[in-house]
C-alpha cells in the first residue's frame, strides 16, 4: 500500500489516518472480494479516494448546520464515494444504498473498522426506497447512465435537494441525452462541473473530478 500523496493529505487533513485504514481495506479485502479490480490496488488514492472526496467542495453551504444534514449514496459498492464523504463530513448522516449482499457485508466491516457512527447501510435498490429515504444530497459514482440514474436519485432526494453524480468523459453527452427525463422529473440547474480544480492547478492531481450537478425543484 503506497503512502498517501500530498493531495490526500490536504484533502483529508485531520481525517487522514482514518482514510489510510480505508485505503488498506480497499486494496486488501476490497480487491480480494472483487469489489475493486486487481489492477486498481496501486491507484487507490488517486483514482478512488481522492476522486471521490473532491466532491465534498460541492456540498451546499450550511449542510449539517444546527441540525445534521443527510446524504444518500446510491450503489455504494465498496463505499465510493459514500464512505469517503462520511469520513470527510462526520457531521452528516450518510446512508449507503447497495443491493448486493457481499458488498453490504464489506461496507459493514468498513463502517465498524473506521468507527463511522454517522453511517447507516441499507441493503436495497434505490428505486425501491423512493419516498422512504429523503436526503438533502444524493451521490453516486459509476452506477448507470444518467437517464436511469436520475430517476433513482430523485426518488430518494428531498424537494429542493441536490444530486451529485460522478461521471467521466461522457458526462456532457449523458446530460444532453437525459434532457427529457430531467424535465419530466422537475430537475433544474443541471450542469457539468469540475471538483478539485484548485488542486489540479497546483499540480497535486492529474485532473479534477467530473460531476453532473442536478438541483431538485421544491414542490408546490
Q: For the segment 79-97, what is each residue's pLDDT rounded down to a tens digit?
A: 999 999 999 999 999 999 9
For the chain, percent of residues with pLDDT exceeding 70: 97
Distance between CA 203 and CA 206 in Å, rounded? Answer: 7
Asked if 175 and 212 count as a contact pair (C-beta separation under 8 A), the reply is: yes
Mean pLDDT within 93-108: 97
For the record, the C-alpha cell of 177 comes out as 441525452
pLDDT of 2 > 80? The answer is no
Residues in Cβ contact with 209 at an 8 Å cutoff, skipping those fewer than 6 apart: 51, 52, 54, 55, 166, 194, 195, 196
- List the alpha helices (DSSP H) in the chain: 6-12, 16-25, 31-32, 51-53, 82-88, 101-114, 146-155, 171-177, 179-185, 197-201
The pTM assigned to this predicted structure is: 0.95
pLDDT of 171 > 50? The answer is yes
Distance between CA 145 and CA 178 in Å, rounded? Answer: 9
Q: pLDDT tens, 148-164?
A: 999 999 999 999 999 99
pLDDT of 99 > 80? The answer is yes
Amino acid at each position: 500500500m503506497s503512502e498517501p500523496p500530498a493531495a490526500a493529505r490536504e484533502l483529508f487533513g485531520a481525517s487522514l489516518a482514518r482514510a489510510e485504514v480505508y485505503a488498506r481495506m480497499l486494496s486488501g479485502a476490497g480487491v480480494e472480494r472483487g469489489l475493486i479490480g486487481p489492477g486498481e490496488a496501486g491507484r487507490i488514492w488517486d483514482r478512488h479516494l481522492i476522486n471521490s472526496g473532491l466532491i465534498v467542495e460541492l456540498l451546499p453551504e450550511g449542510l449539517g448546520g444546527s441540525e445534521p444534514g443527510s446524504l444518500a449514496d446510491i450503489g455504494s459498492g465498496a463505499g465510493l464515494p459514500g464512505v469517503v464523504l462520511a469520513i470527510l463530513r462526520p457531521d452528516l448522516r450518510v446512508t449507503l444504498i447497495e443491493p448486493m449482499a457481499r458488498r453490504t457485508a464489506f461496507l459493514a466491516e468498513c463502517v465498524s473498522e473506521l468507527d463511522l457512527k454517522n453511517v447507516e447501510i441499507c441493503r436495497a435498490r434505490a428505486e425501491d426506497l423512493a419516498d422512504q429515504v429523503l436526503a438533502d444530497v444524493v451521490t453516486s459514482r459509476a452506477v448507470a447512465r444518467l437517464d436511469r440514474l436520475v430517476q433513482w436519485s430523485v426518488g430518494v432526494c428531498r424537494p429542493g435537494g441536490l444530486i451529485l453524480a460522478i461521471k467521466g468523459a461522457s458526462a456532457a453527452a449523458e446530460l444532453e441525452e437525459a434532457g427529457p427525463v430531467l424535465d419530466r422529473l422537475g430537475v433544474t440547474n443541471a450542469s457539468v462541473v469540475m471538483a478539485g480544480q484548485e488542486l489540479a492547478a497546483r499540480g497535486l492531481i492529474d485532473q479534477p473530478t467530473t460531476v453532473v450537478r442536478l438541483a431538485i425543484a421544491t414542490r408546490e
